[in-house]
Amino acid sequence: MRERLEMLKQEAVAAISEATRLEELRDIRVRYLGKKGELTSVLRGMGSLPPEERPVIGGVANEVRQVLESRLQEKEAWLEEAALEERLASERIDVTLPGMNPATGSLHPLNLVLEQIEDIFTGLGFQVAEGPEVEVDRYNFEALNLPKDHPARDMQDSFYITPEILLRTHTSPVQVRVMESREGTVPIRIICPGKVYRRDDDDATHSHQFTQIEGLMVDTHVSMSELHGVLLAFIEQMFGAGTEMRLRPSYFPFTEPSVEVDIFHPEKGWVEILGAGMVHPRVLERAGYDPEQVSGFAFGMGAERIAMLKYGIDDIRHFYNNDLRFLRQFRSE
Ligand code: FA5
């Protein structure tokens, strides 16, 4: 039995020293020292020994167990250390290598301008509202004092989906939607940015799809001078203090009086940027407001026109072509 133990020890020690992975050590431990391991099974056979030999063999077996334990532990520590070294070597980072520059995107110039416009108007106490791009005729025209046979419908050539549904031709229907939702209460101060669609022929300054920002203020004593003041505050913040603005008489069925607003551009001269006016009493009335009690102004500006003036862009089609050479010029860094 002593020889068996001796052999077992040699075998196990050799296996431990040959092991190259921690899992192998775990298997060796189970094989020799585990409950069903070989050393245990040798010890189980001790019952058949004469009583005087049992302590001697027991001592030898214990010694074998201790030797194997300590060899296993040593090897385990060594393998762990080696694994750590290997990981450190493979994960080494060279902090002196030049960095990689991730490609960053930037805001589209139109969004850049829309954000600035929203910032300016929220600073003046306006809230941002939204409305659908697919609109019903009633909101796009009728509630704006443009009945079906009104000649001024020709001012905005439309994309109809059905006789009653169309792509909105301007953001003015949002005026009506907001007034209806406020149910006769004041004050209302909103702007509404969004896409609009017209059967216009595309050229350097016109597009069949473009962006408008509607503005609406309704309160007990709103007059043309408030409209003038708000627009001038906007224009000076957008184009710089001292920028000149002029109001030209114009016509919109939903405002009375109506104006068109131009600003003076050092190279282009006077340029129209928006239409505006005092909300027509009939529009107020249809949206649930008493024109004897409240009044309001409204305006609708073309965002592309503003961006073109601000950044010196000569063709509206640049906004929609996704040419990176154009878009990269608006990176803010
Ligand atoms: C309107 O659309 C009115 N709803 C504006 C309004 C609102 C007036 C509230 C009164 C009260 P107009 O059709 O003029 O008006 O368009 C307004 C602005 O949109 C124009 O000044 C111009 O800047 C821009 N715009 C008009 N048509 C085009 C187009 N095809 N391409 C690009 N911008 C356009």
From 114, 171, 212, 238, mutation site for ligand 1 pocket: most ligand atoms within 8 A of C-beta: 212
Asked if 213 and 171 touch (Cβ cutoff 8 Å), the reply is yes
What is the pLDDT confidence band of residue 331, given thresholds at 50, 70 and 90?
confident
Indicate which atom in ligand 1 lies nearest the CA of residue 208.
30
Q: Which residues line ligand 1 (CB under 6 A)?
A: 156, 170, 172, 198, 200, 206-207, 210, 212, 252, 255, 272-277, 298-302, 304-305, 316
Q: How far is CA 331 from each of CA 104, 107, 108, 109, 327, rounded to the nearest angstrom?
A: 9, 7, 9, 9, 8
Indicate which atom in ligand 1 lies nearest the CA of residue 279.
11
Closest CA to 300 of 205, 187, 215, 207: 215
Does residue 46 surpass a pLDDT of 90?
no
Backbone angles phi, psi at 182, to 5 degrees: -85, -5
Taking the centre of ligand 1 as the mean of its atom positions, its distance from the CA of residue 299, in whole angstroms, is 9
Indicate which atom in ligand 1 lies nearest the CA of residue 215.
9
User: What integer pLDDT is reported at residue 2 of this predicted model?
Assistant: 79
Taking the centre of ligand 1 as the mean of its atom positions, its distance from the CA of residue 291, in whole angstroms, is 25
Closest CA to 282 of 94, 143, 116: 143
User: What is the pLDDT averaged over residues 229-241?
Assistant: 95
Asked if 133 and 167 touch (Cβ cutoff 8 Å), the reply is yes
Does residue 113 surpass a pLDDT of 50?
yes
User: What is the pLDDT averaged over residues 227-235?
Assistant: 96
**H/E run at residue 300:** strand 295-302
What is the pLDDT confidence band of residue 137, given thresholds at 50, 70 and 90?
very high
User: What is the pLDDT averaged over residues 115-142?
Assistant: 96
Tell the CATH superfamily of the 109-330 domain. Answer: Bira Bifunctional Protein; Domain 2 (3.30.930.10)
Indicate which atom in ligand 1 lies nearest the CA of residue 155.
13
More confidently predicted of 128 and 41:
128
User: What is the pLDDT averaged over residues 123-130?
Assistant: 96
Quickly list DSSP for 192-260: EEEEEE--PPP-SS--SEEEEEEEEEEETT--HHHHHHHHHHHHHHHH-TT--EEEEEEEETTEEEEEE
User: What is the pLDDT averaged over residues 246-265?
Assistant: 95
State the chain's mean pLDDT as an integer. 91
Q: Which of 61-70, 81-90, 148-157, 242-251 has the lowest mean pLDDT?
A: 148-157
Tell the burial category of 149 from Cβ atoms under 10 Å away from its Cβ (0-12, 13-18, 19+).
Answer: exposed
The residues spanned by each domain of the chain are 2-90, 109-330
User: What integer pLDDT is reported at residue 71 of this predicted model?
Assistant: 87
Does residue 333 surpass a pLDDT of 60?
no
Taking the centre of ligand 1 as the mean of its atom positions, its distance from the CA of residue 196, in whole angstroms, is 10
How do residues 270-315 score in pLDDT, each as one tens digit? 999 999 999 999 999 999 999 999 999 999 999 999 999 999 999 9
User: What is the pLDDT averaged over residues 164-168?
Assistant: 95
Taking the whole predicted model, whether its pTM rises above 0.85 is answered as: no
Does residue 109 surpass a pLDDT of 70?
yes
Taking the centre of ligand 1 as the mean of its atom positions, its distance from the CA of residue 83, in whole angstroms, is 71
- Token pair of 118 as six digits: 């929203």
Residue nearest to atom 32 of ligand 1 (CA): 206
What is the pLDDT confidence band of residue 326, given thresholds at 50, 70 and 90?
very high
Provide, rounded to the nearest whole percent, the portion of the chain with pLDDT above 70: 99
Does residue 65 surpass a pLDDT of 90?
no
User: What integer pLDDT is reported at residue 153 of this predicted model?
Assistant: 78
